[in-house]
Amino acid sequence: MPTPIKFGTSGWRSIVADEFTIANIRRAVAGISAYVLTQPTPHRVLVGRDPRFLGETFVDEAARILAGHGITPIVIPDAAPTPAISYAVTTLKASGAINFTASHNPPEYNGIKFSTHDGAPALPEVTKQVEAAIMALGDDPQIPRLNDPNPGFETIDVKPAYLARIAELVDLQAIANAGIKVVFDPFWGAGRGYSCHILRSVGVEVATVHDYRDVLFGGHAPEPDDHLLNEAKAKMNEIGASLVIATDGDADRFGIVDIDGTFLQPNYIIALLFDYLVETRGWRNGVAKSVATTNLINALADFHKVPLFETPVGFKYIGELIIADKIAIGGEESAGLTIRGHVPEKDGVIAGLLVAEMVARRGKSLGAQLQELFAKVGSFYPVRENFHLTPEAKANFTQKLKVDPTELGGRKVTAVVRTDGLKLVLDDGSWVCYRLSGTEPVVRAYTEARNEADMASLSAAAKAFVLS
């Protein structure tokens, strides 16, 4: 029996040549095809990729499977950001998109993200249908496939229309007028030629690092996190830049470094941009955040008197709110965000450009702006830790999560939130949220203290709860 193909919070991912094989790709695309054929005609599906190893081969294979099912594939020849593919789905009124990417996972991984006709990540009710269709294929499926050696598939360059839309949403001229310099690090990924191109088009001085294809991503995960941004920081010092903006392997996540070399964690960037968009755009329709994302956003929602939506982890839930125009911005602590009028998908490109606009128009460093936020609504210090468990310990902890604790580390629990996992809110507004990984024996503990002095004790209490 083939290994079951499961679509998690952001698609199906696995190790190339282990579970991510041509045979399993055929099964996955056949399952997606079965779903697409239940939707209104015409059946047209975009097929794209990030720059990972064998991406072109996987795109061609997927296009042939789609064609074999009577679905028109529209091939994106070059590596493209996930948000650019999402935008193309909406502008072309396609049935969806198959995107070969493992996002920020290490280079030995690849995966499939499936977007529906609205450009949003497929919701659980859709992926369950896809998974059921895959299972229905059986052990030795005869999957229809176009075998023409010269199939002549329709192709599209998604870059021009996407960058034109970004130019409508970001005040690029304000960045140019401020005279700031920017360093862009695409991490060898699909964001190459996007953020730097649009900034240079208006005269902004941009320097790049890791701006070439490397299917091994420098030998590590293409994740724009602090410990991997040293070359970008060095370049920033070299040219006297005000900012580093970075994107991950498929450019749906962002990383930001302030003028003094400080990495600003995504929690703070989302909060700063929320405050900035209310100030500059006047958008007061709402804000969304995952349950594991900083409560600084909750405090700002109260301050600005706008509705707050707290979602399970998984950007598809925020995408739904964008489609319904219920929010000005939505974000997750794992470095994903989007804004009103844009794609219902994470977009690391627009995140970095909006931060550049915010720095340019406010004329202050990100650190100074964050201290101003704290002065308005109080301070928040979030941390995320992963705890690796034995299978037995994971099973025990799974049972423990079913009970509502009344205290944590000797402190009273005032609220228990089960939007996703187990979130315990303490009497001073600090909190801990536990989520079990669906793919490995790991529990993720998200903690947030209200002052720096309490961070260590709260983290210790969170760990003790897991291991006790």
Per-residue pLDDT tens for 61-72?
999 999 999 999
DSSP 253: S
State how far the Cα of 351 lies from the Cα of 264, in Å rounded to an integer.
Answer: 13
pLDDT of res. 394: 86
- Which of 165, 221, 154, 152 lies closest to 13 in space, CA to CA? 221
Would you say residue 121 has pLDDT above 80? yes
List of residues 6+ apart from 339 with CB closer than 8 A: 169, 273, 277, 328, 329, 350, 354
DSSP 26: H
pLDDT of res. 393: 86
Confidence of residue 395 (pLDDT cuts 50, 70, 90): confident
* Mean pLDDT, residues 282-290 taken together: 97
Domains 12-157 and 381-467 share a fold: no
What does pTM read for this prediction? 0.96
> What average pLDDT does the structure give for the chain?
96
Residue 3 or residue 147, greater confidence:
147
Would you say residue 390 has pLDDT above 90? no
List of residues 6+ apart from 413 with CB closer than 8 A: 404, 405, 406, 407, 424, 425, 426
Q: What is the CATH number of domain 12-157?
A: 3.40.120.10
State how far the Cα of 338 lies from the Cα of 119, in Å rounded to an integer.
Answer: 13
State how far the Cα of 286 lies from the Cα of 269, in Å rounded to an integer.
Answer: 17
Q: Name the residue type at position 105.
A: N
pLDDT of res. 2: 74
Let me know: does 354 contact 339? Beta carbons within 8 Å: yes
Tokens of 434: 């536990």
Would you say residue 248 has pLDDT above 70? yes
pLDDT of res. 457: 92
* Mean pLDDT, residues 315-322 taken together: 95
Would you say residue 8 has pLDDT above 90? no
Would you say residue 421 has pLDDT above 80? yes
Confidence of residue 392 (pLDDT cuts 50, 70, 90): confident
State how far the Cα of 222 lies from the Cα of 41, in Å rounded to an integer.
Answer: 37
Confidence of residue 370 (pLDDT cuts 50, 70, 90): very high
- Which of 59, 69, 149, 50 lies closest to 109 in space, CA to CA? 50
Tokens of 460: 């210790």
C-alpha pair distances (Å), 235 with each of 186, 243, 353, 379: 14, 10, 18, 31
Tokens of 150: 């010269």
Q: What share of the chain is helix, strand, coil (3-state, %, to 5)?
A: 40, 25, 40
Question: Based on C-alpha coordinates, what's the Rg of the chain?
Answer: 22
Tokens of 373: 């936020």
- CATH ID of 381-467, from 3.40.50.970, 3.30.420.40, 3.60.140.10, 3.30.310.50: 3.30.310.50
Would you say residue 118 has pLDDT above 90? yes
Range 161-377: architecture per CATH: 3-Layer(aba) Sandwich (3.40)
DSSP 358-409: HHHHH-S-HHHHHHHHHHHH---EEEEEEEE--HHHHHHHHHHTTS--SEET
DSSP 293-346: S-THHHHHHHHHT--EEEE-SSHHHHHHHHHTT--SEEEETTTEEEETTS-SS-
Would you say residue 361 has pLDDT above 80? yes
Instruction: Spell out the domain ranges in the chain.
Output: 12-157, 161-377, 381-467
